[in-house]
Chain A
Amino acid sequence: MTERLRNLEAESIYIIREAYAKFKKPSMLWSIGKDSTVLLWLARKAFLGNCPIPLVHIDTTFKIPEMIVHRDRLIQEWGLQLVIGKNETALATGMNPEQGRLACCTALKTEAFRQTVERHGFDAVLLGIRRDEEKSRSKERFFSVRNANFEWQYKEQAPEIWTQYNTDFPPGSHVRVHPLLSWTEIDVWEYIEQEKIPVTTLYFARDGKRYRSLGCWPCTTPIESQAMTVKDIVEELKNIGKSERAGRAQDKADTYAMQKLRAQGYM
């Protein structure tokens, strides 16, 4: 393992253990994508092969079916606890991307997530977001508070000095914990290769196309690619010259769309 990956792994495990030690009821968001699967793997390393933190999957019902198959397989194999969150009310009234991408993301992701956090009383949620993904995530902290209205007050963030994080929070708020914040897309793939972490086959090229970032099928476009293995992907990314979320529609709805979505509680 390279020194960089070793340092990243150590930082992430340290943060995961810190979250588990400091919060009463932490959970971990698992989108079935590569990042949150790496997060899950790191949690198993932190807890010596176990994952005492329950996983939360927000099911928009628009996820690519293969993702669900992959999810259920790992739940079985690794003996994980899974909570599935859905905004049943919005789904019942037929919410879908045609009603506006931001509206759809807000209802089926943010709102479903909020309902799940409240229903289960999670005081902390671990997420696999990374600074290099997009602008607003680059400003995140490792331990980042969301107030009782689920909002992120990004202009009022408390500092994290050295490896001391803010782990005390006012009642009613919950905390987003971001163990992968320092990782890049290439780091994630190199680590997957190194550790042989199982990821869904959607990331590998079929008929000259592969998914670089996984979301809901109506809003995620595969990229042109010949990458059939994790090694191919790493090589491809070193020369690609485009950002990872270029295929994600919600980012494009407006220049600062992600910042707005995330201020209101989006992941």
Chain B
Amino acid sequence: MEINQNEITGELTVVFLGHVDHGKSTLIGRLLYDTKQVTSDKIEFATARSQEQGRLLEFAYLLDGLEEEQEQGITIDFTQTRFATAKRQFILADAPGHREFLKNMMCGASRADAAILLIDATEGVQEQSRRHGYLLTLLGIKQLAVVVNKMDLVGWEQNVFQKIKADYEEFLASIGFSAQAYIPAAAFTGDNVAVKSRQLLWYPGKTVLEQLEAFRIKENTGIPLRIPVQDVYRFGQRRLLAGRLEGGLIALGDEIILWPTHEVTTVKAIERWPEANVHQAIQGENVALELSDPLFAERGMIIAKSEHPPLVSRSFTARIFWLGRQPLVPQQRYKLKIGFQETGVWIEQLTKVLDIGKLCEVATDTLPAGFVSEAILTSDQPLVFDTFHDNAELGRFVLIEEYQIVGGGIITAALTNKQTGEFRHDRGTDNLFPTAGFVTKTERRRCNGHTSQVFWLTGFSGSGKTTLARKVEEQLFHKKYQVYVLDGDNVRSGLNGDLGFSSSDRKENIRRIAEVAKLFVDAGIIVLVALISPYAADRDLARSRFEDGEFTEVYVKCPLEICEARDSKGLYKKARNHQLQKFTGISDMYEPPTKAEIVVETDKMPVEMCVKLLLQHL
């Protein structure tokens, strides 16, 4: 992709923030209207809706909205619209001002280059004026202009404006932030929006429109190469690492380091279909890289160059914000995502909790929504990152609870020598895991040239679990994979020889086999467990012992009648004759999996096809 410098016009995203009813939507609507950037059917719609409510044209109705929003005259969720001046193109994002919709505000603001914060001249600085201003610093937005709106309602008085300006300047200074401009305006009448006001002649500065043009596009230059690996694709014999350049540039033949394994290799090919012969790629581009060596690679790893290595640690300090319905509780486990890395994390300590609506420190054990804190975090797995200051993209993270993003933060520093002593980052050397004899799972996998995981085959007796497991084992073994089958019957004759078939013994049987399988996975081996494992809860328990992606539940599905007809071990006959108690399918229940990653129907599919389905999942 050639870059033609003449084509770069630049597009800037500006978010409009501030307290409820301070006029964010109206200001955007007015900008669109005065610069004639609304389609005629939208004006007709807004005019009709305003008239129905006995009002003059409500400029906010020119923005897209939900029925609830336009009925109640509020903004619930953010929306954005395109806007252009002679100089530049913009995306204007309208964010809600209600505290309860703060998560939507953050969603709309997080991708902005600059912000316009509105303050109502009749109300002055309010709780959300401060909260929104503060949160900009955590989102990494450095450009801010403040609009003191509704000047028409205070008789265009200069001293009202000066007072608000002084108040907000003081607030921003206290958090180490400042605004580029303070603009007195009236969105409803259009004064100082797109055209200079005739009422505010004492104000010599820019209109809102001129301020938009004065904002600069975020400069992301000078960031060292970072390619978080988003996925690994296979094309025949080729293996390609897909990812977007979050900094720097990469060229054919470049020496790169794969983190956290710290393996060194070079770039053999850069793929960017449909282009052929791609020699280099720059920041922001999505590529797929072929490496010169067949190193172990997976989603979450980071590609960097030797000059500027990232940080690696399980512990770091951060400034975090919280949006969850329930407050954040220290020592409770959440999921953290940084780049494509996902791991369990807990907050060791909230070191300084701030109510940013009032801007005061509060003594509290938990972090409520809308508050921020300085904190120390510890993760289950070592993470590869930068500080937010060095590289925003790899220096920020989100926190997830029950399937939803509920918070986030920016990393201020890596902590080394975590108390447990099990991991230390020794920057600049190869001694990433310095304890003698301490071999990690990742290293074992790399050595084996494949990942390690468990296939958990569940199904009736006679459904074909063992046959399938043995076939997969055979094929993988011949391909030089480290692989082993844990068969229910075999394990029961040894390790679990003390267990029977009661529900509690079945549970213990599964628990032990899951633990053994986990050891195999830690040892870098692919393990196939062939076990009736009839209860969903027990299988879930087994699953919970593994990390994401390590546990593949395989439902070996076959109707009971067919299993019984096969009866290769003569067990069904015995169960029917009451010679066997608690036999799954006859005198004990089987709960079919509802979330199995793979379902093989052994009465319908040839065994080769079943084998293939499992192999595809490697």
Question: Which A residues lie at the B interface, using CB under 8 A?
Answer: 1-4, 6-7, 10, 13-14, 17-18, 20-21, 24, 44-49, 131-132, 134-136, 138-139, 141, 154-155, 157-164, 166, 168-171, 182, 184, 240-243, 246, 255-256, 259
| A46 surroundings in chain B (CB, below 8 A) | 242, 286
**Do residues B398 and A164 form an inter-chain contact, with CB atoms below 8 A?**
yes
Question: Which B residues lie at the A interface, using CB under 8 A?
Answer: 1, 7-11, 39-42, 45, 64-68, 76-82, 89, 91, 103-104, 106-107, 110-111, 139, 230-231, 233, 235, 240, 242, 244, 271-274, 284-286, 288, 299, 323, 335, 337, 340, 393, 396-398, 400, 403-406, 408, 594-595, 597
Q: Which of B40, B80, B230, B286 contacts A242 (CB 8 A)?
A: B40
- With A45-B274, A160-B405 already in contact, 4 other A-B pairs whose C-beta atoms are closer than 8 Å: A2-B9, A6-B284, A17-B242, A48-B233
Are A135 and B286 also in contact (CB < 8 A) when A158-B405, A161-B405, A246-B41 are? Answer: no
**Do residues B286 and A158 form an inter-chain contact, with CB atoms below 8 A?**
no
Chain A residue nearest to B407 in the complex (CB): A161
List, sorted by A's number, 13 A–B pairs whose CB atoms are closer than 8 Å. Answer: A2-B7, A6-B284, A10-B285, A21-B231, A45-B272, A135-B65, A157-B77, A158-B406, A162-B408, A164-B397, A164-B405, A166-B405, A242-B40
**Do residues A135 and B66 form an inter-chain contact, with CB atoms below 8 A?**
yes
| A241 surroundings in chain B (CB, below 8 A) | 39-40
Q: Give Cα distance in the complex from A240 to B66, angstroms.
A: 25
Are A48 and B107 also in contact (CB < 8 A) when A3-B7, A10-B286, A259-B67 are? Answer: no
Are A162 and B68 also in contact (CB < 8 A) when A138-B79, A241-B40 are? Answer: no
- In order of increasing CB-CB distance, the 4 nearest A-B pairs are A138-B64, A159-B107, A158-B404, A256-B67
**Do residues A162 and B111 form an inter-chain contact, with CB atoms below 8 A?**
yes
**Do residues B11 and A131 form an inter-chain contact, with CB atoms below 8 A?**
no
Are A139 and B79 also in contact (CB < 8 A) when A17-B230, A162-B111 are? Answer: yes
| B335 surroundings in chain A (CB, below 8 A) | 168
Q: Which of A1, A138, A171 contacts B1 (CB 8 A)?
A: A1
**Do residues B11 and A162 form an inter-chain contact, with CB atoms below 8 A?**
no
Q: Give Cα distance in the complex from A3 to B597, angstroms.
A: 41
Chain A residue nearest to B285 in the complex (CB): A10
Tell me the minimal C-beta distance from B43 to chain A in angstroms: 10
**Do residues A169 and B403 form an inter-chain contact, with CB atoms below 8 A?**
yes
**Do residues B233 and A134 form an inter-chain contact, with CB atoms below 8 A?**
no
Q: Give Cα distance in the complex from A221 to B365, angstroms.
A: 61
**Do residues A161 and B107 form an inter-chain contact, with CB atoms below 8 A?**
yes
Q: Give Cα distance in the complex from A233 to B11, angstroms.
A: 23
Tell me the minimal C-beta distance from A25 to chain B in angstroms: 10
Q: Which of B40, B67, B79, B286 contacts A14 (CB 8 A)?
A: B286
| A47 surroundings in chain B (CB, below 8 A) | 233, 273
Q: Give Cα distance in the complex from A138 to B64, angstroms.
A: 6
Are A4 and B107 also in contact (CB < 8 A) when A24-B597, A48-B271, A139-B77 are? Answer: no
**Do residues B286 and A243 form an inter-chain contact, with CB atoms below 8 A?**
no
Tell me the minimal C-beta distance from B108 to chain A in angstroms: 9
Chain B residue nearest to A46 in the complex (CB): B286
> B64, B340, B594 — which one has the most chain A CB atoms within 10 A of its CB?
B64
Tell me the minimal C-beta distance from B537 to chain A in angstroms: 15
Are A136 and B66 also in contact (CB < 8 A) when A18-B230, A24-B597, A161-B408 are? Answer: yes
**Do residues A159 and B595 form an inter-chain contact, with CB atoms below 8 A?**
no
| A20 surroundings in chain B (CB, below 8 A) | 231
**Do residues A21 and B273 form an inter-chain contact, with CB atoms below 8 A?**
no
**Do residues B41 and A135 form an inter-chain contact, with CB atoms below 8 A?**
no
Q: Give Cα distance in the complex from A258 to B363, angstroms.
A: 47
Tell me the minimal C-beta distance from B42 to chain A in angstroms: 7
**Do residues A4 and B398 form an inter-chain contact, with CB atoms below 8 A?**
no
Tell me the minimal C-beta distance from B266 to chain A in angstroms: 20
Are A161 and B286 also in contact (CB < 8 A) when A131-B79, A255-B67 are? Answer: no
Chain A residue nearest to B321 in the complex (CB): A161
| B68 surroundings in chain A (CB, below 8 A) | 155
| A49 surroundings in chain B (CB, below 8 A) | 273-274
**Do residues A139 and B274 form an inter-chain contact, with CB atoms below 8 A?**
no
| B77 surroundings in chain A (CB, below 8 A) | 139, 154-155, 157
Are A3 and B231 also in contact (CB < 8 A) when A157-B77, A171-B595 are? Answer: no
Tell me the minimal C-beta distance from B302 to chain A in angstroms: 15
Chain B residue nearest to A165 in the complex (CB): B405
Are A184 and B82 also in contact (CB < 8 A) when A161-B107, A171-B594 are? Answer: yes
> A18, A46, A154, A159 — which one has the most chain B CB atoms within 10 A of its CB?
A159
| B240 surroundings in chain A (CB, below 8 A) | 48
Q: Give Cα distance in the complex from A49 to B288, angstroms.
A: 12
**Do residues B403 and A170 form an inter-chain contact, with CB atoms below 8 A?**
yes
| B40 surroundings in chain A (CB, below 8 A) | 241-242
Q: Give Cα distance in the complex from A163 to B271, angstroms.
A: 23
**Do residues B42 and A4 form an inter-chain contact, with CB atoms below 8 A?**
no
**Do residues A4 and B103 form an inter-chain contact, with CB atoms below 8 A?**
no
Chain B residue nearest to A18 in the complex (CB): B230
Q: Which of A17, A171, A255 contacts B286 (CB 8 A)?
A: A17
Are A135 and B64 also in contact (CB < 8 A) when A155-B76, A170-B403 are? Answer: yes
Chain A residue nearest to B595 in the complex (CB): A171
Tell me the minimal C-beta distance from A185 to chain B in angstroms: 11
Q: Give Cα distance in the complex from A155 to B42, angstroms.
A: 23
**Do residues A159 and B104 form an inter-chain contact, with CB atoms below 8 A?**
yes
Q: Give Cα distance in the complex from A2 to B2, angstroms.
A: 11
Tell me the minimal C-beta distance from B420 to chain A in angstroms: 28
**Do residues B396 and A139 form an inter-chain contact, with CB atoms below 8 A?**
no
| A168 surroundings in chain B (CB, below 8 A) | 335, 400, 403
